[in-house]
Amino acid sequence: MTVRVLIIDDQNDFRRLLARHVLTGFDSPSVAEYDPAARGRLPADFSGSAYDAVLQGDSVGGEFGIDWLRDLSRRNGFPPIIYFLSKRSPELEESAIHAGANACLSRKKVDHEALIAALRTVQARRGQFSRPAVQSEDSTRATRFGDASIRGFRYVSQLAESPVSSVYLAESERSGSKVALKVLHQPPDEGSGVRNFDRFLREYQIAAAIEHPNVARVHDFGVADDHAFIAMEYFPLGDLRVRIKEGIPPRRALTFLRQMAEALKVLHDAGVLHRDLKPGNVMLRDELSVAVIDYGLSKHIELDATLTNSGEIFGTPYYMSPEQGHGRDTDARSDIYSMGIIFYEMLMRRKPYVAGTPMQVIYKHAHSPLPELKAELKRFEELLYNCIAKDPARRYASADQLLDAARELERDETER
């Protein structure tokens, strides 16, 4: 039995290289090539039914290869896809698998034996990858997340809910791993649903473009039953609020601050302000490290910075800089302010400014004296005050400056 393969990639030399591997690995294979740079996207009705497998590179018409992968893998009856990465890492491979890849290989040095083994595997399973037209009642119920049915994920439990979205613990049917599935409540074409959908899309685009141990990984983005969803890294240990309640040793708090600053630097270098830093958006990767999540309020999105009718504001008043709380222009120093407030809470196990209403909290951020630390924590006050000064000009000007200060203080703590 011969094998029928379609190769998709911008680079002619790479397509020819893969073709040679296939031609030398099988008797009389059928190999076709497709150049996205010259021919654009494959037609929407192209099902690939004439092929046993598709070899897709991550260089496709100047677009994100992962987007092509996701589009093709979701087409009914589309053959298995073997995906080639310019840069291999566990995170990128996991993202590709979540997007629909059957296997991931390196394009820099094609492993002939691995490629042929992958092709023989999909050849042996020919016809098993088409999607069933009808799901059983149990299967349908297992893929139900609120009002949306999201194929490819199994419901485990609900983790959180807000007026805009719900977050579920789910299991990926493809990889078997646990993910956090964030589902938008409103369909993207209904009123404010358009704006919320834009935030969702922006959150995915930001996280998908960043690879850093202190930034949460996002695996997938899509629309199911007219509800947008994001599949992201699941953190079984929860968020920083849990540790704050239990109490965080000062040295550990400083380490967490430095790691958050590492994440902030990556975001700022990418031209993104977070604008909603708070303990609930800092997840525990393990006992010694944290990762920042949730970029839905990033500055790249057009947002209304005024109060809503319910008295709520975009962002969280307890951690909001004076300029953000009063609707003035923000920059990197506003995120640094929020990080300083989190640092204070880690050290003191309480928020520095509390009041009965959001507006009163915002007023205190702008006008109340700087909060003092306990006597045994005074050594951290200089760093803290350089983060939470009322005047942005008196704060660290960048995440780099905060990082330098945090690292120096960490060295001092090690020598104590």
Q: Identify the three-state secondary structure at position 263.
A: helix
Q: What is the pLDDT of residue 314?
A: 47
Of 242, 237, 285, 235, whose CA–CA distance to 260 is shortest?
285
Q: Is the pLDDT reported for residue 19 higher than 60?
A: yes
Q: Which CATH class is domain 240-415?
A: mainly alpha
In the chain, % of residues over pLDDT 90:
43
Of 346, 381, 388, 348, whose CA–CA distance to 365 is shortest?
388
Instruction: Identify the weakest region by mean pLDDT among 18-22, 306-310, 353-357, 393-397.
Output: 306-310
What is the chain's mean pLDDT, rounded?
A: 84
Task: Return the half-sphere exposure (C-beta side, CA atoms, 13 A cut-off) of residue 413.
Answer: 18
Q: Is the pLDDT reported for residue 190 higher than 80?
A: no
Higher pLDDT, 147 or 16: 16
Q: Identify the three-state secondary structure at position 52.
A: coil
Of 284, 313, 285, 309, whose CA–CA distance to 297 is shortest?
313
Higher pLDDT, 403 or 87: 403
CB atoms within 10 A of CB 157: 7
Mean pLDDT of 382-386: 98
137-233, what's its fold? Phosphorylase Kinase; domain 1 (3.30.200)
Q: Is the pLDDT reported for residue 113 higher than 60?
A: yes
Q: What is the pLDDT of residue 299?
A: 45
Of 257, 187, 204, 267, whose CA–CA distance to 64 is shortest?
204
Q: Identify the three-state secondary structure at position 316.
A: coil
Instruction: Identify the weakest region by mean pLDDT among 104-118, 123-137, 368-382.
Output: 123-137
How far is C-alpha 223 from the geometric centre of its chain's CA atoms? 16
Distance CA 36, CA 39 (A): 5
Q: What is the pLDDT of residue 304?
A: 32
Q: Identify the three-state secondary structure at position 224.
A: strand
Q: What is the pLDDT of residue 168?
A: 92
| Tokens 């094609």 sit on residue | 110
Residues 6+ apart with CB under 8 A from 205: none
User: Which numeric CATH code is attached to 4-124?
Assistant: 3.40.50.2300
Mean pLDDT of 186-203: 60
In the 8-state DSSP scheme, what is residue 215? B
What are the residue ranges of helices labelled H in 308-398?
A: 322-325, 332-348, 358-367, 381-388
Q: What is the pLDDT of residues 273-284, one digit of tens each?
A: 888 899 999 999
With 0.75 as the threshold, say if the pTM is over it. no
Name the pLDDT band for 295 (thresholds 50, 70, 90): low
Name the pLDDT band for 202 (thresholds 50, 70, 90): low
Q: What is the pLDDT of residues 216-231, one digit of tens each?
A: 888 887 777 667 888 8
Whether residue 276 lies in the annotated active site: yes
Catalytic residue (choose from 52, 58, 239, 276)? 276
Q: Identify the three-state secondary structure at position 127.
A: coil
Mean pLDDT of 60-83: 87
- Please state the domain extents for the chain: 4-124, 137-233, 240-415
